[in-house]
Structure formats: C-alpha cells, structure tokens
C-alpha cells in the first residue's frame, strides 16, 4: 500500500525498476531510493472575484534530502494528482544528480486551471499556496521554481509572500523569478536553449548537419517556444508546432518569430492560421529530423514510437515517453537518437541552481557567463551519458538514470541510515 498512485507514478516506478535491475541493486535498498521522504497536501481557500470562496488542493513532494535541499518546479494544472507530483519529484532527483547539482528532487503544484482565474485570483492562490508551504520549505530545505502553468510573476509572488513572513527579503527561496526581483539572467530561456544545445551535440554524434534539418515541436509554452527559437537559430526549419489549442504543419517551415509573437499576445497558438492547421494526432509521427515533445507526460506510446519518423527525439517535457514505447525505441536505437528528459530539459534546473547561488552570495553574473556555465554542465552530462551508454550498450535513458541513481545511492551509503 502506498500513498502514490496513477499512471505517471507507475511510470517513474517502472523506470526505476529497470535501473535497479541493471545496477543489480538488492531488493531491500530499492524502496529507500524510490519513495519520497515527504509529501504535503494543503487546502488553499481563496476569494473569487464574484465574492464566493473556492478551495483548491495543493501538493509538495520532497524526494530526498541526502545531497542538500530539494529543488523543483510548481505546476498549476487542472488534473494534478499527488502521484504525478511524486513522479516529477523523483525524476528531478535523478536529473540533479546527473548534472552534479547539490540537490534532491521536489515538485509541487495546485490542481487548478490557471487560465480560468483572473490575475487577482491567481495572485491570491499563489500567495496562499506559498503561505501554506512555509513550514516545509526554506532556502536550505526546499527551493521552488516554475513549471507548467506557472511563470516568473508567480515566482515573484511566492518570494514576496515568504519574505513578508520572515520580515526580510529572502530571494533564494524560489528560482525562476524576474531579474528585477533577484532572478538571474537567462533563466527563462535556459530549458529551451539547453534543448537546442543538446540537439546540436546529438547532430554531431550522428553526423547530421543542423543547417537545413527539420524539427517539430509539441507544446509552445516556456520550453517549447524557446526550444523552437533555439533550433531555428541553428539553421533548422521548424515544420510543425502545437499547443493544447492548435497544431500547425508547413513543410516549407513555420515562422517561429510570428508564432512566438502570437502566443505572447493571445496566450495560445489558436487563431494563428487556418491554412496550416493539422491534426494534432499526426504531429508526432510526421516526417522530421528532430522531434521535440515539450508539453505533458505520456504522449509517446508504443504505437507512436513505432511510427515516428525522426532521427533525434529530444525530450524537452518531463516523462513524454511511456515505458512500453522505450522498448520500441530500444529496438530502433540505430535509427532514432534519444536525448532523455532528465538530460534534455536539465538546462532549467541548472540555471535555477545558478540563480540560487547568486542569490545566496548577492553577487550576480551577466548572461554570457550564465550561458557558458550552463553549456559546460550540459556538455559534461552529455559526455557522461554517451560514454556510459556506449560502454554498457544500454539505452541513453538507462545510462542517464543510472548515473543519477548511483550518485544518490552512493551518498546514502556513505552517510549511513539514521539512527
Ligand atoms: P508551459 O505551461 O509554459 O507550456 C506548456 C505548453 O504545453 C503550452 O503551450 C500548452 O498549451 C501545451 N500543451 C499542454 N497540453 C498539450 C497537449 N496535449 N498537446 C500539445 N500541447 C500541449 O510549461 P513549460 O514550462 O513550457 O513546461 C513544458 C514541459 O517542460 C513540462 O513537461 C515541464 O515539466 C517541462 N520542464 C519545464 C521546465 C521549465 O523550466 N519551465 C524545466 C524542465 C522541464
């Protein structure tokens, strides 16, 4: 019997079993590594604009504190469940360990559709959620960041709320803040730019020129839109793009700057074009060199994996590929180069770490310094994953997760088990 359930948690657990088997981990060690240290559930009552009161359900899961504080995003999404939050926290742990950050993973959020709230209601909810979390978070305990449905403004409200209760400004309590409130240069773009950087490394590895290559991006929020720009800057043609409201395909290439402008103005891609609209179900299996899922979990099942026509799968979203699809991708290893999520989207948490370090020191870097340090960390992680995968002849996901799991395991082993 466990607190955690649902398809996303089952997926994180299945992936972990694959790694534990590969590492020949004794059964009695597995639960200690897999199950989160803490899970917090809160009710967040807020005043609605019409004078009524609504109660929304919030969560925070802290996976382990073995290497330092926990770190992870905050998701505002209508169907958010504790199991999904736990899975995302677990993935964050392997990601932080893979990239060498002194953190355990965390994740949190509220089951809410943020687009259905007014700005005032969203501020009320953000502040109340942070206020409920104050006993459980802190700059050396658990540091929040943005994720789906949250943004820089919400991080600024989180920071302000926490600071008001402390009686002083505590910028290091969250990352992904606006630069004007103690954020770092480059954080907003970090995840998408990291995707662009790693796709370029993958191109080198398979001997494909980025110039003139084609890409499809699913999801056009923070990560997807910047990833599309970053690939376009490398000379790629973005032939497909979608969000939850619309899907577009143009073999001659979409105008990424115009799409970004439209999304910034309207909040969604809907209404961009009638002629270029396509069936969203076809997008992931349409021909392209680089496929970038940058939206939600579990969008690639075994059937889609068998029909995908890309040469590089760059997993910008967390958990886009189901374990049964992994079996298919394993068979297609020579055709499709997978950049697994915990590597592909790690740019976000790496620059969040830089933001935390700068806030703690009150010593700020310029954007060029942030980016060069980010690419250094991503290059190191990419090389480690390639070396491990080639040495042991395992899938890139197995190599990446094994490096992360092993680091956490080693830290737990050397620290021992209290008491
Ligand atoms: P966001 O809220 O800014 O954007 C999400 C996008 O996905 C939106 O365009 C939305 O319309 C779209 N979308 C939702 N459901 C969809 C569907 N069924 N089909 C197509 N599009 C759909 O979120 P984000 O911050 O860009 O996060 C996207 C993914 O990247 C998530 O998996 C998140 O966990 C992951 N991620 C984000 C960061 C970060 O720094 N923001 C870091 C690492 C990983």
Nearest-atom index, ligand 1, CA of 150: 2
Nearest-atom index, ligand 1, CA of 318: 32
Nearest residue to 324 (alpha-carbon basis) of 4, 7, 84: 7
| Residue nearest to ligand 1 atom 36, measured at CA | 317
Ligand 1: residue of 222, 240, 266 to mutate (most ligand atoms within 8 A of CB) is 222
* CA 246 to ligand 1 center in whole angstroms: 14
* CA 240 to ligand 1 center in whole angstroms: 16
For the sheet containing 70-77, what is the strand order?
38-47, 53-62, 104-111, 70-77, 142-146
| Residue nearest to ligand 1 atom 40, measured at CA | 348
| Residue nearest to ligand 1 atom 4, measured at CA | 221
Can you give the pLDDT at residue 357? 98
**What backbone phi and psi angles, to 5 degrees, belong to 241?**
-155, 145
Can you give the pLDDT at residue 2? 79
Ligand 1 site residues (CB inside 6 A) read 146-149, 191, 218-224, 242-244, 294-296, 316-318, 345, 348
Task: List, in order, residues 6 or more apart from 5 with CB less than 8 Å away.
Answer: 81, 82, 83
Nearest-atom index, ligand 1, CA of 187: 40
**pTM for the full predicted model:** 0.97
Residue with tokens 């709320």: 161
- 35-40: which pairs have CB atoms within 8 A and are 24 or more residues apart? 35/2, 35/4, 36/4, 36/61, 36/62, 36/63, 36/64, 36/86, 36/89, 36/90, 37/62, 37/63, 37/64, 37/65, 37/104, 38/62, 38/136, 39/3, 39/4, 39/82, 39/85, 39/86, 40/133, 40/136
Nearest-atom index, ligand 1, CA of 88: 34
Ligand 1: residue of 294, 319, 351 to mutate (most ligand atoms within 8 A of CB) is 294
* CA 219 to ligand 1 center in whole angstroms: 6
285, 310 contact by CB (below 8 A): no
Nearest-atom index, ligand 1, CA of 151: 3
* CA 293 to ligand 1 center in whole angstroms: 9
DSSP per position, 330-392:
HHTTTT-EEE-HHHHTTHHHHHHHHHHHHHHHT----HHHHHHHHHHHHHHHHHHHHHHHHHH
As a whole number of Å, the end-to-end CA separation of the chain is: 25
| Residue nearest to ligand 1 atom 15, measured at CA | 244
* CA 149 to ligand 1 center in whole angstroms: 8
Can you give the pLDDT at residue 410? 98
* CA 295 to ligand 1 center in whole angstroms: 4
Q: What is the mean pLDDT of each run of 10 residues along the chain (419 residues)?
A: 91 97 97 97 98 98 98 98 98 98 98 97 98 98 97 98 98 98 97 98 98 98 97 98 98 97 97 96 96 97 98 98 97 97 98 98 98 98 98 98 98 96
95, 407 contact by CB (below 8 A): no
| Residue nearest to ligand 1 atom 32, measured at CA | 317
DSSP per position, 278-294:
--HHHHTTS--SEEEE-
User: Could you give the residue numbers annotated as active site?
Assistant: 107
Can you give the pLDDT at residue 1? 63
């Amino acid at each position: 019997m466990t607190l955690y359930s649902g398809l996303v948690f089952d997926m994180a657990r299945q992936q972990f079993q694959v790694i534990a088997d590969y590492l020949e981990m004794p059964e009695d060690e597995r639960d200690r590594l897999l199950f989160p240290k803490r899970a917090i559930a809160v009710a967040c009552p807020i005043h609605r604009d019409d004078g009524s009161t609504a109660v929304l359900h919030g969560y925070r899961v802290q996976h382990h504190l073995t290497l330092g504080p926990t770190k992870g995003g905050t998701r505002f999404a209508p169907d958010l469940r504790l199991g999904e939050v736990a899975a995302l926290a677990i993935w964050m742990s392997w990601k932080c360990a893979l990239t060498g950050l002194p953190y355990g993973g965390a994740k949190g959020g509220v089951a809410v559709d943020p687009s259905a709230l007014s700005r005032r209601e969203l501020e009320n909810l953000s502040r109340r959620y942070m206020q409920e979390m104050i006993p459980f978070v802190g700059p050396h305990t658990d540091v929040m960041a943005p994720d789906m449905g949250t943004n820089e403004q919400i991080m600024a409200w989180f920071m302000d709320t926490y600071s008001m209760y402390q009686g002083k400004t505590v910028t290091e309590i969250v990352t992904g803040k606006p630069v004007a409130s103690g954020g770092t240069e480059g954080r907003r773009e970090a995840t998408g730019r990291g995707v662009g950087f790693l796709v370029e490394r993958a191109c080198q590895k398979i001997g494909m020129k980025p110039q003139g290559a084609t890409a499809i991006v699913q999801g056009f929020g923070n990560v997807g839109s910047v990833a599309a720009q970053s690939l376009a800057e490398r000379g790629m043609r973005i032939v497909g793009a979608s969000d939850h409201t619309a899907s577009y395909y143009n073999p001659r290439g979409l105008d990424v700057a115009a799409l970004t402008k439209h999304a910034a103005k309207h909040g969604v891609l809907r209404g961009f074009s009638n002629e270029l609209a396509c069936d969203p179900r076809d997008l992931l299996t349409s021909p392209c060199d680089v496929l970038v899922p940058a939206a939600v979990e579990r969008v690639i099942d075994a059937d889609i994996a068998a029909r995908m026509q890309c040469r590089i799968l760059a997993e910008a979203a967390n958990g886009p590929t189901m374990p049964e699809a992994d079996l298919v991708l394993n068979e297609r290893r020579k055709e499709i180069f997978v950049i697994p999520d915990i590597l592909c989207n790690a740019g976000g948490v790496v620059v969040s770490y830089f933001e935390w370090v700068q806030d703690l020191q009150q010593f700020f870097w310029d954007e060029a310094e942030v980016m060069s340090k980010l690419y250094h960390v991503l290059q190191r992680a990419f090389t480690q994953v390639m070396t491990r995968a080639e040495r042991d002849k395992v899938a890139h996901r197995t190599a990446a997760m094994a490096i992360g799991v092993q680091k956490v395991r080693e830290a737990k082993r050397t620290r021992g088990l209290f008491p």
